[in-house]
Amino acid sequence: MLTGLATGLWLAGSACVQATELPQKPLTYADASSRLDTVSDAIKAADAFRDSRADTAASLDSLNLPTVSLAVQAFRYQKTLDSASLPALNDVTANGKPIPPPIQDFFGSLPDVKFSYTQDVLRPVVSALWPVYTGGKITSAQEGARAMQRQAEALAEHAHDAERVKLATLYFGQALAEQMQTVRCQVRDGMEQHLKNAQAMERQGMATRAQRMQVEVARDASLRGCQAAARTFESARIALSNLLRTEQTLTLASPLFLITTPLDTKQAYVERADNRNAQVRSLDAASDAAAQVERAARSQWKPTVVLLGEYNLKRSDQLVIDPDWIVGIGVRYELLSNVDRQRSISAARRAREAAQDATHEARTQVRTAVATAYEMLMGAREQYELLQSSEALARENVRIQALAFREGQGTATEMIDAENLLAAALVERAAAAYNFDVTLAQLLDATGQMDQYPALMRGADKVLAETSP
């Protein structure tokens, strides 16, 4: 048991340590939680991702408004004209009518002319483009970005809650390890005293050598138990320090606790989880985003309509064929695409169905997890309450067996067994409180209520202060 707890705590707190200072006073759970919010890299990463998605969604809010751009061109050009290369005037029309013969005769009598013209041009043009119909492309992009923002917000909340569950596991894991160390080392001290009594009784002829050796073997076992508990406590201390990014030795102020007053029903927790579980809300948002991808795929079959305009800011340099301004409307429809649009729609639809199925599966798993956590919570509370009476009986049994051994009426085995039973009862009671505290955090995390954990802890009607055999 000790080895498993040490390994679990070490793996859970294996984050990199950054040496930072904490106040030199016992650390409450609330202070540890506040510090975790500022030093956790997982929380920082989730918050940054959430903010990134929010900025992306905000950047698309004006996607359906016009765009205005300024284009400036500076160039030099030359134009050469040769009258010999011009078409015959009898082939030229003006307003759909042929050139009158007198004019044709006049220009035909002119000699051939060849000249060239060179000009430096600066062309600043303001253009505006306003999409008035896109078949749903703009709306799907905006709604998809908002869905991804909601997903990132849910993931950030999940990261916060998961780190707090980890904190509860490690914080109260250190508290449990400290109590286990206290119990095991006090058992060792008790066995040292029993060994001294047995040695004195052996010298007086009241105990046999075998009885004294039996107590000595039990003393050695208790010494190993104390050392193992000390190692477990050190592992738990390091794990919590790593999580809080400090190299200081942390002394805890918040003890293990238990709530024996009635809690909400299992069904109430399940119903809350359906609506508030962060992972389920994240998958719901992913389903919404997938639906918008499908909507965008369907928009490929629809035309795009835009209003357009252009204005030349420097008419003195404009070419003969350049307009002063332009206003108009444009329609674009893709008749033949190099992408299979039907396949694209099919792929988007299947992705949406997959996201919806994943959401339904997650809801089922969350309901199971909530029901399991609730039963474990009630079991831990029942175990704690049963162990209270067991502890009282075990203490009385230790007193009776120790007295009987000293008076030669009892055996060393009975006395040692009594000590071990009391130590086991104390450790199991502390473990039951620890299981209650951690399972409560897991239940609140699954139901999206992790923010209530500190208030429930403050309202606990039982706290497990340091106990001794």
pLDDT, tens digit (0-9, with 9 covering 90-100), for 67-114: 999 999 888 878 776 656 555 555 656 556 676 766 656 656 656 666
The predicted structure's pLDDT at residue 199:
83
Query: Does residue 183 register a pLDDT over 70?
Result: yes
Nearest residue to 207 (alpha-carbon basis) of 411, 371, 449: 411
CB-based contacts of 92, cutoff 8 Å, min separation 6: 98, 99
CA pair distance 333, 300, nearest whole angstrom: 9
Q: What share of the chain is helix, strand, coil (3-state, %, to 5)?
A: 65, 15, 20
78: which strand partners? Answer: 118
Instruction: Give me the count of residues in the chain.
Output: 469
Mean pLDDT in residue range 164-189 = 92
CA pair distance 392, 390, nearest whole angstrom: 5
The radius of gyration of the chain from alpha carbons, rounded to an integer in Å, stands at: 41
Which segment, 4-13, 197-206, 428-437, is predicted with the most confidence on average? 428-437
Pair type for strands 462-464 and 114-133: unpaired
CA pair distance 467, 252, nearest whole angstrom: 15
Please answer whether residues 170 and 12 qualify as being in contact, where contact means their C-beta atoms are separated by less than 8 angstroms: yes
4 against 29, higher pLDDT: 29
The predicted structure's pLDDT at residue 412:
67
Confidence of residue 402 (pLDDT cuts 50, 70, 90): confident
Query: Does residue 261 register a pLDDT over 50?
Result: yes
For 463, other C-beta atoms within 10 Å of its C-beta total 12
Alpha-carbon distance values, 175 to 12, 23, 28, 363, 436 (Å): 15, 19, 12, 34, 13
Query: Does residue 392 register a pLDDT over 80?
Result: no
Average pLDDT, the chain: 85
pTM, two decimals, is 0.79
Mean pLDDT in residue range 304-327 = 84
